[in-house]
Amino acid sequence: MNTTIEVYGSEKDLDQIAARVRLMVKGGKSLADGEARALAQIAQVTGLNPFIGELWYIPGKGPMVGIAGARRLFNEQNNNGADYAFVDLVVCSADEAGVPEDVKDLVAAFRAEVHSSTATREYQRMLLETIEALRAAGTSDPFGQAREIVGKKPTWIGWGYSRKSDQSTMNKVQLARKRAEADALKKRIIVPFGINLDISVHDNVI
């Protein structure tokens, strides 16, 4: 049975979603028919919701996945949807965040470390089992040797920064934090059609 139409949506489905986007999403009336349908198509394929900020359209750039959408993709694409991401954010230096030397209006820079709930549980299980096996063998330092055997817990690292000149209505520190998280998340998720992640919300976002 050909299920392509179920995945990509019928013409009627796409037209209905596009009409709702133009009617209900802020600035939607300024979208051309093709742009509204493109946003509807991406929403249909990814399951992301343009009405709650998971997906939007920026004129001149095209459809973009927001941080909320990236989190959903992370959760749903890993371990058959039974996963969820949690993130540690710390202030970092401009050099670590990769800030170009010509940027003179830096506001904040962050390092994000994204963890997978499933990968964390599996890592802890393997570590405990290895420690118990080493203890039973009479090893003098079972914890240290277990860490060497099992290695580091799987994490995904990202960096982000913000400038005073960034076109965003978001608090600039929060903007840097979200950019760092998005940079880490995109190393784990698959975004269809090569769509970019974008969390720098500004007045041109639809």
Q: pLDDT per residue over 101-138, tens digit each?
A: 999 999 999 999 988 888 888 889 999 999 999 999 99
Q: Are residues 132 and 162 in the same domain?
A: yes
Q: Are residues 96 and 167 in the same domain?
A: yes
Each residue of 129-184: pLDDT tens digit? Answer: 999 999 999 989 999 999 899 888 888 899 999 999 988 778 899 999 989 998 89
Q: Are residues 97 and 141 in the same domain?
A: yes
Q: Are residues 33 and 96 in the same domain?
A: no
Q: Are residues 95 and 73 in the same domain?
A: no
What is the residue range of 25's domain? Answer: 1-78+190-206
CB 14 within 8 A of CB 38: no
pLDDT at 103: 92
Q: Are residues 88 and 182 in the same domain?
A: yes
Q: Are residues 86 and 183 in the same domain?
A: yes
Both tokens assigned to 76 = 């749903």
Q: Are residues 95 and 175 in the same domain?
A: yes
pLDDT at 50: 86
Q: Are residues 42 and 65 in the same domain?
A: yes
Measured torsion, CA atoms of residues 170, 174, 177, 179, in degrees rounded to the nearest 10: 0
- What's the whole-model pTM score? 0.70
Q: Are residues 27 and 103 in the same domain?
A: no
pLDDT (mean) for 25-33: 80
Distance CA 91, CA 97 (A): 10
Q: Are residues 33 and 124 in the same domain?
A: no
Distance CA 198, CA 185 (A): 12
Mapping DSSP to helix (H, G, I), strand (E, B) and coil, where does residue 131 land? helix
Both tokens assigned to 48 = 């992301």
Instruction: Identify the weakest region by mean pLDDT among 40-49, 155-164, 186-195.
Output: 186-195
Number of folded domains that form the chain: 2
Q: Are residues 182 and 195 in the same domain?
A: no
Mapping DSSP to helix (H, G, I), strand (E, B) and coil, where does residue 158 land? strand
